[in-house]
Amino acid sequence: MKKSIKSALISVFHKENLDEIVRELIKNDVTLYSTGGTQAFLESLGAKVIAVESLTDYPSILGGRVKTLHPKVFGGILNRRDNSGDQQQIEEYQIPEIDLVIVDLYPFEATVASKSPEQDIIEKIDIGGISLIRAAAKNFKDVAIVASQSQYRTFLEMYLENNGATTIEQRRQLAAGAFAVSSHYDSAIFNYFNEKENLNEFRESTTVSRSLRYGENPHQEARFYGDFDAMFEQLHGKEVSYNNLLDIDAAVNLIDDFSETTFAILKHNNACGLASRNEKVQAWKDALAGDPVSAFGGIVVTNVEIDKAVAEEMNTLFMEVCIAPSYTNDALEILKSKKNRILLVRKSVELPKKTFRTALNGILYQDKDIKVETVNDLKTVTKKAPTEQEVVDLLFANKLVKHTKSNTIVLAKNGQLLASGTGQTSRIDALKQAVEKAKSFNFNLNGAVMASDAFFPFSDSVEIAKKAGITAVIQPGGSIKDQDSIDFCNENGMSMVFTGIRHFKH
């Protein structure tokens, strides 16, 4: 059912791109109601505007906090055109019908993000706007609602398509968008207060999303909710997939723990190669050497600009995605030689400090594991203390173990990942996997260090490590049998440090 628009209430904070709609409304002799800055804007476009204050016989009061909250405004929006009782009342109280509401909301989230004083933030909690949105959306059978600047173009196309009218299907679509706007806005306000009040309730909302080809597997539908383009500029390659996004997330979290020139290669969210070096090409070569087999089809991430020299080395590897803070022009020319290779420039965006995931019929919500151990966190529990180089390698390995699927063991030496055992059901199996893998790529484990994401329940792990050539161990500690592992290390000239921090990753 089409409804012609004969009257409109317009009250917006963002006026950019509104002029096209206003000119069409003027052309169709639509009666316009407005107030304040929006009224002045409409009049600057040549519109004849009825001030809301003259409709309600009340001025804008309380510093602008009360402008449109009045029965003559909300009655005009909420009255049901096919309800005789409603029609009798609006005639009795001389309430004009309003067929279109264009309103947006004060920029609450932007004000919070700008670290403004709380009083400024509170003043950006919209009252009249949110009420107008909900009223118009509720009465979508008779009223069209445009609730944000992002909907201006959509509405204009509808309006022109129907020669100054809208269909019931279009109004319902606009109403759904309006409730999306209002619910997101309320979630943002709640989360602001909940940071301090901690009401133990969960709200998460995003207004940006993108469709994906499929989910983890081709038979699964999927979508990414978030502003990918705010965090990355894609310079080349195919569309980013669901699994790409998981790997990109793991890659970014991993590289952020390293300040030295570092290259990492990930596969299925785990690092299969990583090296920190003074020189880019060597860092790349040593990262690739960690597992050149698994590196095929992996995700590459670095914290330095990719130049021609390192790009020439990298180009020999088939990789799905490459992430860097920047690329030189000649490096891009080389890396773009593979048409599907995804090249991303990472932008400076603050990442969330909380994580959540679905579980059973609910949500698991936690602080993000952002702890990075330093020398001050290490407690030497053996008679022999680690050497200066071993301390460097222990902290290096501990960063890696934090970002590897549990149960995990990481073996490292001289700023290079030698091997890791990932996602095993027992710690001993993870260690055996790591040792076997390191040997398969001809790494000499003599003098290497071992990191564990959790404590050793028995001494068998350090016994195997000793036989492999490991000389120093880092682990959280906390087992009732810690002393067994300590005793073995003391008897066999190994050093061990405790961090007191477990890094499970599931």
Judge contact between 92 and 75, C-beta under 8 A. Answer: no
Cis peptide before 407 (omega within 30 of 0): yes
E strand or H helix that includes residue 191:
helix 168-197
| Catalytically annotated residue among 236, 268, 338, 432 | 268
Q: And the tokens for 223?
A: 């979508």
User: Which amino acid type is present at position 173?
Assistant: Q
Based on the residue annotation, tell me whether 506 is a catalytic residue of this protein: no
> What's the order of all strands across the beta sheet hosting 262-267?
232-236, 342-346, 319-324, 298-302, 262-267, 270-276, 416-421, 409-413, 449-452, 472-475, 495-498, 379-380
CA distance 380 to 490: 12
The first and second tokens of residue 140, run together, are 């979508």
Dist CA 151 CA 26 (whole Å): 19
Question: Are the beta carbons of 27 and 46 closer than 8 angstroms?
Answer: no
Mapped onto helix, strand or coil, the DSSP state of residue 193 is: helix
Distance (Å, whole) CA 478 – CA 500: 7
Continuous H helices in 68-117: 71-78, 84-92, 108-113
Chain centroid to CA 469: 42
Number of residues written out for the chain: 506
Separation of alpha carbons 42 and 174, rounded Å = 23
Known catalytic membership, residue 236:
no
User: CA 71, 14, 113: angle at the middle one, nearest 5?
Assistant: 105
H helix intervals, 32-167: 36-44, 52-56, 71-78, 84-92, 108-113, 118-123, 128-138, 152-161
Tell which residue, 66, 67, 23, has the closest CA to residue 44: 23
Q: Which two tokens stand for residue 313?
A: 């080395």
What does 196-235 look like in DSSP terms, one character per residue? Answer: HH--S------S-EEE-S-SSSTTS--EEES-HHHHEEEE
Q: What is the Cα 49 distance to its own chain's centre?
A: 43
User: Which candidate, 373, 417, 372, places its Cα nearest to that of 253?
Assistant: 372
d(CA 306, CA 89): 71
Which among 15, 124, 138, 236 is annotated as catalytic? 138
The amino acid present at 128, given as its one-letter code, is G
d(CA 379, CA 486): 12
Residues annotated as catalytic (active site), given as ranges: 138, 268
